[in-house]
Amino acid sequence: MEKWPLTLVCAFLIITNSCYSQDTEGGHEKWEYVLEDTGDVLQLALPLTAGIMTLIKKDYKGIKKMAFSYGTTMALTYSLKHFTKKERPEGRKLYDSFPSGHTSSAFSGASFIQRRYGWSYGVPAYLLASIVAVSRTEAPDGYHDFWDVFAGAAIGIGSTYIFTKPYKKEQMTLGFANYRNTYSLTFTYQF
């Protein structure tokens, strides 16, 4: 039951891509459009999944950590886009290529899942985030180059590691012992 958010994301992607993927035009194959659409969905699905996981686990401190890490990721990403003014490689005369916002968002969500809840959740999350990175370079229009997506991934992961620590449930135990008419009550709280 705990891994159902990632399963839900995958099911959502399959349904979304079969229903909404674009038709081929301009000599591009259908898989290129499916890849682009998948990246568009996953850039938001991964951070949303991370948020849902914090609610499922009743990890209310995690919600705050997710908000700080994701907010920092997006602030850095769009600040760098504004200051670097790197032209997009597909030739539309847009100057907001560096870093990739889709990749920043996806890797922020994936790295939060991994950092907070471990590698058993992190490996599938990072694989899905990698699909987003590939979709930004290999989609029909090729919106970014390698350095754009690399920087986006680095910002997403770095911001998460600044604000997020691994999740540990608060451990509180209460014990009672009786030995030769001596009674003891113990209380332990593990941080």
Read off φ and ψ for residue 177, nearest 5 degrees: -135, 150
Confidence (pLDDT) at 182 = 78
- Within 13 Å of residue 110, how many CA atoms lie on the same side as its CB? 27
Mean pLDDT for 1-27 is 56
Predicted TM-score of the model (pTM): 0.76
Instruction: Report domain extents, the chain.
Output: 4-190
Residue 24, by phi and psi: left (phi above 0), alpha (psi -120 to 50) or beta? beta
Confidence (pLDDT) at 190 = 61
Confidence (pLDDT) at 13 = 57
Count Cβ atoms within 10 A of the Cβ of residue 141 and give its class: 0-12 exposed, 13-18 middle, 19 or more buried. Answer: middle
Distance CA 130, CA 103 (A): 8
Count of Cβ atoms closer than 10 Å to residue 40 Cβ: 17
Distance of CA 65 to the CA centre of its chain: 13
- The string of pLDDT tens digits covering residues 125-143 is 999 999 999 888 887 777 8
- The string of pLDDT tens digits covering residues 21-66 is 555 555 667 777 888 888 889 999 999 999 999 999 999 999 999 9
Q: Which CATH fold would you assign to the domain 4-190?
A: Vanadium-containing Chloroperoxidase; domain 1 (1.20.144)
Of the pLDDT bands very low, low, confident and very high (cuts 50, 70, 90), residue 76 is: very high
Q: Are strands 171-179 and 182-190 parallel, antiparallel or unpaired?
A: antiparallel
Amino acid identity, position 174: L
- The string of pLDDT tens digits covering residues 77-125 is 999 999 999 888 877 788 888 999 999 999 999 999 999 999 999 999 9
Confidence (pLDDT) at 1 = 45
Does residue 70 surpass a pLDDT of 90? yes
Dihedral (CA of 147, 138, 84, 50) sign: negative
